[in-house]
């Protein structure tokens, strides 16, 4: 994996243009669906203290040093475009086909992570929306066994909440994720980070 960029690096052949300039162009608004997704993955990554970078083609979004694989699904009431009403909170793509660079996609869709985090950006007006305020996020967490039992490829907010219980703020996210880790079932030794 190439070294992480810091933003100050310059493009060869583009005088005075830095990686940070590209980032400002590509991700100017965290209300955009892809940017909001990356932000939620970053928040989970930081909450778990992971030092592992995001890998685009992995079958999960965040991985901890002890091998816990986490899939992050996001939704929000507000979008980057004008809306007549708030968006419904829905999470899709819970099952997917694993991809291997040597063999391509697997034949079967599966739940590929140990734990699923459903991150909801809770602002309901554009005036209150602050992309840098982690208190505007609610996190609901389910272990893979729950999703396997339900067998759904997508779920609405009420279904996730019915099975996950109340959402937690960012400050309690890591603890809730660890509690949902199916590798830590009663009677099993739970992996620990080194």
Average pLDDT (105-128) is: 92
Burial of 191 (0-12, 13-18, 19+ CB in 10 A): middle
Q: What is the predicted pLDDT for the residue at 194?
A: 38
Q: Model's pTM, two decimal places?
A: 0.88
Q: Look up residue 45 and give its two tokens.
A: 């990554």
pLDDT per position as a tens digit, 64-99: 999 899 999 999 999 999 899 999 999 999 988 787
Residues 120/67, Cβ–Cβ less than 8 Å: no
Average pLDDT (29-57) is: 88
pLDDT per position as a tens digit, 119-146: 999 999 999 999 889 999 999 999 999 9
């Amino acid at each position: 994996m190439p070294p992480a960029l810091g933003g100050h690096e310059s493009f060869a052949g583009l005088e005075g243009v830095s990686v940070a300039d590209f980032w400002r162009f590509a991700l100017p608004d965290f209300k955009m669906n892809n940017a909001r997704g990356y932000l939620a993955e970053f928040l989970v990554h930081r909450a778990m203290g992971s030092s592992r970078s995001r890998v685009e083609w992995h079958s999960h979004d965040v991985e901890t040093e002890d091998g816990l694989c986490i899939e992050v699904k996001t939704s929000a009431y507000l979008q980057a475009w004008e809306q007549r009403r708030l968006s419904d909170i829905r999470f899709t793509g819970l099952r997917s086909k694993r991809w291997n660079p040597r063999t391509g996609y697997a034949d079967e869709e599966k739940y590929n992570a140990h734990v699923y985090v459903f991150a909801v950006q809770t602002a309901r007006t554009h005036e209150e929306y602050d992309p840098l305020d982690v208190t505007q996020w609610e996190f609901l967490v389910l272990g893979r066994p729950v999703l396997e039992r339900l067998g759904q490829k997508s779920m609405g907010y009420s279904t996730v909440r019915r099975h996950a219980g109340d959402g937690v703020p960012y400050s309690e996210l890591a603890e809730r994720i660890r509690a949902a880790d199916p590798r830590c079932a009663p009677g099993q030794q739970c992996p620990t980070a080194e």
